[in-house]
Structures are given as structure tokens and as C-alpha cells.
């Protein structure tokens, strides 16, 4: 594969941008390779600056559920941009977008838009602390909730990929307020509540984890977590930045039938523009300024371009209900992976929920971050490079989810499986 232009751009980028990128995972550092610079995308495909074409399963790390450069989304952005890009004053579009979110996610009675998933989770934690008057929070190993100080402890995603245990710059005093527990282990939560129950403001989690690779707890886990948080007066925050509008219109909470107190959203609601949101019970949300004393603000929050793109995407998702189709495509990929794993005797396990999928290079069942970490990372890296050479752009880390969009065709999936077969022969 020819990558001369990407290599030249990466060299240039490193002079001005830290590590040549604006988000660490993009640098492909853990893969021991250099990143590809992307020129354009359409549907299920992206093209790099050297003209290589890929079937894309990254989809900007999840948001492009309708694929790249969807005509209706692009037209919505074009249309609204004629009237100006930002006012820092309320606009009607924000109400429409808020209504669409509230209608789609039953636990969300009121919402506040922000500009990223990080902002959403940071703000939700602040609200939980402000509302309960308690300081400690519970998060789980391998879950990633953005780079807010309280949440960067034992995090997944790029933190896991780069093997960073804790980040300098986060005061020990603050990190101590974050209780980190193994994911998908209810006994650990029961014990933490027994010990610290009076001090716990909230439990935050990815209801289906994507940032340690895909891991889905059983329903009983979520049910018990809901009971425990109610019992101890702690808020339950579901971080649906990845799963919201992706696993179902109502997110993972529609699948699991759980009623969290607060929900954080991002990525998918912006259709590729910078949007995040947090929302939940009216009684709790009314503690946010200007109604209440918990301060949170944003100059560009509710930006018309982002609202127009997000709203159009939500409307299409509602009209089309693409979820059964996405699930069926996901199943085809999963079945194909499993068939080839068996056929070639590769030590690998596939986890999937709907259109989120990870192939872990371990023969262990993967139920938490410890299990995910038992994966053979060297084998993953080799597999990854070979797949790239065969025109398939998967999530570039063992600790990430690959995503499907409505634009992925049956043929894309067959081509992907052929590439996997070819790659397995050469592992
Ligand atoms: N929460 C989850 C579950 C995420 O997957 C991410 C991003 N991968 C975030 C929060 C942070 O979102 P952002 O990158 O938009 O700040």
C-alpha cells in the first residue's frame, strides 16, 4: 500500500501539532505505525490522501450511523449555514432537537446541549455532586467517559491503548474521590456501597462498554445497579455517548429497560458535528443554572450547524428504524468472524451488540477489562495492518469497538470477511 503522502503530511503535522494529531488514538502509536491522512468519505468508504480506498468501520469513532457525507445531513448543514453559524442566543432548532431527544429517550425529561462527550460527562458528574451534596463517584475499569479529571482514572479507549495507568496533572486529592471497580461485577459494587454508601454521589458507566472493546453485561447486573443506587441515594448515570441512538433510538436503556437518573450523550446526536448532551429527570436537571446553582455553560452550545445535522439524523433514524437491519448486518459479520476463527484455529473471541463489534485476540470469554487485557496485542497489531492493506479500516485498537452504518452493504461485509480469511491465512 502506497502511503507517501500520508507519511509526508504526518512529518509536517508533527512540527505543529503534538504527536501530529488532535486526539491521541489517531496517531496509531500503539500499532507501531503512522496514521493515514483521510481526504474524503462517502457512504461506507473513506479514501486517504494517497488514493487508497477503505471500507470504514471507524465512522469517526461511531457517530456516522448513516455513513459518510449523507446527502440529507449535508443539505441540512448547508441550508442552516446560510443564516449564520452561531449567535450565542437561543434558536428554535434547539427546541426541536431537545424535543427529539426527549421523545426518543424516555428517562430524559430535560436536556442541556454541550459540545462533546467529555463535557457531557463532566457536567453530569458535577450535577450529581451538586444535587446529592456527596463527593465520591464510582466508575468502572476500562470504561472511558472522556478526559475530565475525575473520570480519567483507570480509563479505557486511548488511555488503555497507550497503557497510561494514571495521568499526571490530576491531583491525588481528586483522584481519591473516584472509586474504581471491576466492570460487570455486582458484588464489587455492593461492597463499595456498604463501605462508602453515605459519600457516593453517583455511579457512572457505559451500559454496553465500547472503550475496552465491546462488553455487554447481563440485564440482572443493570437491574441490581439501579436498585443499589436508589437504596443509597446515589444517582445512576448512563454514559450513552457511544450507545445512544446507535443500539436503539432510545439507546441501551431501551434494550435493557432501565431508567437511569441522568444520561450523557454525544457523537451520534451530532451526526459528526461536535455535540454532546446530558439530560434526565426534570427534578434533577432543574438544579442546573440558570434554574439552579450548579453552573455549566458554553458559548457554542446548541450551535445551529450541529443542531441541524443532529436533528436531521435523529429524524431519519426515527423514520427509518434502521436498528433491525444494523443488527442483522452485525450478526453477519459476527457469524463470519466466528466461522473463520474456527476454520483457522485463531485464538479469538467476538463480542457484539447490534452494530458495535470487537474481535478480541484471546480464547477467554471477555466480560471485563481484565479479560480484554488478556488479548494478544501483537497478534491484533499484525491482523490490523494486514486488514488495512486489504482495504478494511477497523477500529485501530484492541480496546475499541468497530461500528457499522446503514451505508454498509452486504457486499461490504462479504468483502470484509474475505479480507479476514486472507489475513488469517497470513497471521
Ligand atoms: N463517553 C464515552 C462512552 C465515549 O465513548 C467517549 C468518546 N469515545 C466519551 C465519553 C468522550 O466523548 P468526546 O470524545 O466527544 O469528548
Pocket test for ligand 1, best of 241, 268, 278 (most atoms within 8 A of CB): 241
Mean pLDDT of 69-81: 98
Residue span(s) of the chain under CATH 3.90.1150.10 come to: 50-65+322-400+408-427
The CA 35 to ligand 1 mean position distance, Å, reads: 21
Q: In a mutational test of the pocket of ligand 1, which residue from 114, 267, 310, 400 has the highest number of ligand atoms less than 8 Å from its CB?
A: 267
What are the pLDDT digits (tens) for 269-302? 999 999 999 999 999 999 999 999 999 999 999 9
- In this predicted structure, the answer to whether residue 77 has a pLDDT above a threshold of 80 is yes
Instruction: Give me the catalytic one of 57, 131, 144, 183.
Output: 144
Distance 111 CA to ligand 1 centre (A): 18
| Fold held by 71-320 | 3.40.640
pLDDT, residue 93, reads 97
Cβ 261 under 6 angstroms from ligand 1: no
Please tell me the predicted confidence (pLDDT) of residue 154. Answer: 75
* pLDDT attached to residue 13: 98
What pLDDT score was predicted for residue 165?
64
Given 48, 239, 371, 412, which residue is catalytic? 239
What's the pLDDT at 161? 76
Residue 34: is its pLDDT beyond 90? Answer: yes
pLDDT score at 417: 98
Give per-residue pLDDT as tens, 125-181: 999 999 999 999 999 999 999 999 999 877 777 777 777 767 788 888 888 999 999
CA 61 to ligand 1: nearest atom: 8
Mutate to test the pocket of ligand 1, among 263, 264, 266, 403 (most ligand atoms within 8 A of CB): 266
Catalytic-residue membership of 239: yes
Q: Flag whether pLDDT at 252 surpasses 70.
A: yes
Q: Is 144 an annotated catalytic residue?
A: yes
Query: How close is the Cα of 304 to the center of ligand 1, in Å?
Result: 21
Could you report the predicted ipTM of this complex, rounded to two decimals?
Answer: 0.99
pLDDT digits (tens, 9 = 90+) for 192-238: 999 999 999 999 999 999 999 999 999 999 999 999 999 999 999 99
| C-alpha–C-alpha distance, residues 311 and 138, integer Å | 32
Share of the chain above pLDDT 70, in %: 100
Q: What are 316-370's pLDDT values in tens digits?
A: 999 999 999 999 999 999 999 999 999 999 999 999 999 999 999 999 999 999 9
pLDDT at 156: 78
Which CATH number does the domain 50-65+322-400+408-427 belong to among 3.40.50.11740, 1.20.120.530, 3.40.50.620, 3.90.1150.10? 3.90.1150.10
Q: Measured between alpha carbons, how far apart are the two ends of the chain, in Å?
A: 18
Average pLDDT score over the chain: 96
Query: Residue 44: its pLDDT value, please?
Result: 98
Atom of ligand 1 nearest to the CA of 143: 3
Give the ligand 1 atom nearest the CA of 240: 3
Amino acid at each position: 500500500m502506497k502511503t507517501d503522502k500520508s507519511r509526508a503530511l504526518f512529518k509536517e503535522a508533527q512540527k505543529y501539532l503534538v504527536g501530529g494529531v488532535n486526539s491521541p488514538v489517531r496517531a496509531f502509536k500503539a500499532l507501531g505505525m503512522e496514521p493515514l491522512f483521510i481526504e474524503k468519505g462517502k457512504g461506507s468508504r473513506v479514501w486517504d490522501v494517497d488514493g487508497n480506498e477503505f471500507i470504514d468501520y471507524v465512522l469517526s469513532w461511531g457517530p456516522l450511523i448513516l455513513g459518510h457525507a449523507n446527502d440529507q445531513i449535508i443539505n441540512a448543514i448547508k441550508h442552516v449555514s446560510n443564516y449564520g453559524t452561531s449567535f450565542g442566543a437561543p434558536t428554535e432548532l434547539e427546541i426541536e432537537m431537545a424535543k427529539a431527544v426527549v421523545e426518543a429517550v424516555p428517562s430524559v425529561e430535560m436536556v442541556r446541549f454541550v459540545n462533546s462527550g467529555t463535557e457531557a460527562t463532566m457536567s453530569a458528574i458535577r450535577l450529581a455532586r451538586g444535587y446529592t451534596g456527596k463527593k465520591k463517584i464510582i466508575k468502572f475499569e476500562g470504561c472511558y467517559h472522556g478526559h475530565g479529571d475525575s473520570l480519567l482514572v483507570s480509563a479505557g479507549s486511548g488511555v488503555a491503548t497507550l497503557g497510561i495507568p494514571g495521568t499526571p496533572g490530576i491531583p491525588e486529592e481528586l483522584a481519591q474521590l473516584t472509586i474504581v471497580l471491576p466492570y460487570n461485577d455486582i458484588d464489587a459494587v455492593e461492597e463499595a456501597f456498604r463501605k462508602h454508601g453515605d459519600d457516593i454521589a453517583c455511579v457512572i458507566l457505559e451500559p454496553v462498554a465500547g472503550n475496552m472493546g465491546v462488553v455487554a453485561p447481563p440485564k440482572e447486573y443493570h437491574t441490581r445497579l439501579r436498585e443499589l443506587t436508589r437504596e443509597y441515594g446515589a444517582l445512576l448515570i448512563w454514559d450513552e455517548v457511544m450507545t445512544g441512538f446507535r443500539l436503539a433510538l432510545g439507546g441501551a436503556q431501551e434494550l435493557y429497560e432501565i431508567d437511569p437518573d441522568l444520561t450523557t450523550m454525544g457523537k451520534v446526536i451530532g451526526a459528526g458535528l461536535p455535540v454532546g448532551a446530558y439530560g434526565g429527570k426534570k427534578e434533577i436537571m432543574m438544579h442546573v443554572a440558570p434554574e439552579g446553582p450548579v453552573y455549566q455553560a458554553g458559548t457554542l452550545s446548541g450551535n445551529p450547524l450541529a443542531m441541524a445535522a443532529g436533528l436531521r439524523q435523529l429524524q431519519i433514524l426515527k423514520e427509518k428504524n434502521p436498528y433491525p437491519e444494523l443488527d442483522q448486518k452485525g450478526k453477519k459479520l459476527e457469524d463470519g468472524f466466528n466461522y473463520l476463527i474456527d476454520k483457522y484455529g485463531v485464538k479469538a473471541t467476538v463480542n457484539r451488540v447490534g452494530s458495535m463489534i470487537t474481535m478480541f485476540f484471546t480464547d477467554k470469554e471477555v466480560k471485563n477489562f481484565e479479560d480484554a487485557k488478556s488479548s494478544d496485542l501483537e497478534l491484533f497489531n499484525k491482523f490490523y495492518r494486514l486488514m488495512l492493506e486489504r482495504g478494511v479500516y477497523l477500529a485501530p485498537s484492541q480496546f475499541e469497538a468497530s461500528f457499522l452504518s446503514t451505508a454498509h452493504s452486504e457486499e461490504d461485509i462479504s468483502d470484509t470477511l474475505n479480507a479476514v480469511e486472507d489475513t488469517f491465512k497470513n497471521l
